[in-house]
């Protein structure tokens, strides 16, 4: 049986897959950071939504990358989870 790790390693041999994966890396990175902040705060999506005065479904969309959040939304998410929003620009490699 093939496991996920093996599949990903095989896919990474395909240049087209690598290009698409890298194009989505920033989106995945943001989603991961949001989910990690909520987990560290030991909060549910519903609790974050309540503090942000929004819906749980909006939080789910933020965390899945289905919406492009505004700076204000990210600041509110950070405040709700007791974190600080920090944005950086890095040289491309």
What is the average per-residue pLDDT within 57-78?
95
Which range of residues forms the domain containing residue 66?
A: 7-78
Entry pTM: 0.74
CATH number for the domain spanning 30: value is 1.10.260.40
Indicate whether 88 belongs to any domain.
Answer: no
Number of independent structural domains in the chain: 1
Residue 35 has a pLDDT of 94
Query: Tokens 């041999």 sit at which residue?
Result: 13
The CA angle 42-29-89, to the nearest 5 degrees, is 120
Q: Is the pLDDT of residue 61 over 70?
A: yes
């Amino acid at each position: 049986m093939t496991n996920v790790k093996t599949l990903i390693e095989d896919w990474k041999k395909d240049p087209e897959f690598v290009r698409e994966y890298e194009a989505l890396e920033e989106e995945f990175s943001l989603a991961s950071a949001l989910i990690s902040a909520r987990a560290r705060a030991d909060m549910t999506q519903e609790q974050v939504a309540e503090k942000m005065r929004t819906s749980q479904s909006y939080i789910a969309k933020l965390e899945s990358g289905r919406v492009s959040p505004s700076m204000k939304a990210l600041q509110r998410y950070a405040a709700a989870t007791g974190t600080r929003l920090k944005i950086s620009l890095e040289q491309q490699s």
